[in-house]
Amino acid sequence: MVLLEFERILDRLGGWLIHADFGLGLLFVVGLSMSLSHVFALFANRLSSRQILCRLLLDAVVLALAFLLSSSIDMVLLRLYASNPVHPSDLVNGMATCLLPACFYVCVAAPYIGETIGFVIWVLMHLNVVTFVHVRFALPWDQSLLLCTPGYVLAVVVVALLFRQGWQRSYAMLASELAEP
């Protein structure tokens, strides 16, 4: 009986994953693009080529998971408080498409203009998600904005923390070189 129930859950999960396959694939691409945008932080830490490659892939997966987590938060909030029903796989698939501008996140590595590019991409992503939820699930604008913002804030914080840590380590290394007698 338990086994049958477990099989049924797995079937549902499989069906859900097939339905959201494009979105999930895109999440990894977004993660990879974001990870590449801070590849110089890894160089600044004087890692070897193999370490850099491993860290790039690991960061890409962590970032993809962070976006999946932020999507899940949106999903839970929409499920609990939205005035209209929202199907999870539709949401993940659609939200990943909204993250399409983040495929260009690698351009944030560009010096001086990088931060502006990053800011524009983050704003675009949030606008896309809010608009998508408003149009696809017929939620009012204020409700879309309110329910989609917590997940977005979480994603911003995770990305900022991950990259800040990388750069801080490299600055510490630079300071140690200058501290030599």
Partner 1 sequence: MNQAGRIQQWSQRLNLRLLILVLALGLGLNLVGVGHLLVAFHWMLSPADLQLLVQLGSLLVMVLIAAAGIYSLVSEFAFWEGWLQGLPAPASLFEPAAAGRAPYRCYLVYLDGIHQLERDHPPRVSNFLALLEQHLPDDTLLVRGLETYTVMPVALAEDAGSAWFWRRLFALQEHYPSPWIQLLAAVLVQANNVIKVGISSDRRYGPILNYELALKISLRLAEAGFRPDTGSSIVLSGYSGGAEMAMGVADYLRRITRSPVSIISFCGVFSGNQVLHQLAGITTIVGSKDPVAAFGRFAYPGRSPLLPLSNWNKSLAAGRIHRLEIEGMNHNGNQGPFSDAFRWPVVRAILASLPP
Binding mask 26-45 for partner 1 (x = CB under 8 A): --------------xx-xx-
Rg, Å, the chain Cα set: 19
Contact present, 63 and 30 (Cβ < 8 Å): yes
Contact present, 124 and 104 (Cβ < 8 Å): no
Query: Is 171 among the residues that bind partner 1 (CB under 8 A)?
Result: yes
Query: Is 16 among the residues that bind partner 1 (CB under 8 A)?
Result: no
Which residues have a Cβ under 8 Å from the Cβ of 147 and sit 6 or more positions away? 74, 77, 78, 81, 82, 133, 139
Which residue number, 80 or 175, has a Cβ lying nearer to partner 1?
Answer: 175
Contact present, 31 and 60 (Cβ < 8 Å): yes
Query: Is 75 among the residues that bind partner 1 (CB under 8 A)?
Result: no
Query: Is 121 among the residues that bind partner 1 (CB under 8 A)?
Result: no
In the complex, what is the shortest distance from the CB of residue 166 to partner 1, in angstroms, rounded to a whole number?
Answer: 10
Binding mask 77-116 for partner 1 (x = CB under 8 A): ---------------------------x-xx-xxxxxx--
Q: How many residues bind partner 1 (CB under 8 A)?
A: 23
In the complex, what is the shortest distance from the CB of residue 72 to partner 1, in angstroms, rounded to a whole number?
Answer: 31
Alpha helices (H) in the chain, listed in sequence order: 2-19, 21-37, 39-44, 49-81, 88-98, 114-136, 141-178
Q: How many residues does the chain have?
A: 181
Q: What is the contact surface with partner 1 in residues (CB under 8 A)?
A: 40-41, 43-44, 46, 104, 106-107, 109-114, 117, 167, 170-171, 174, 177-178, 180-181
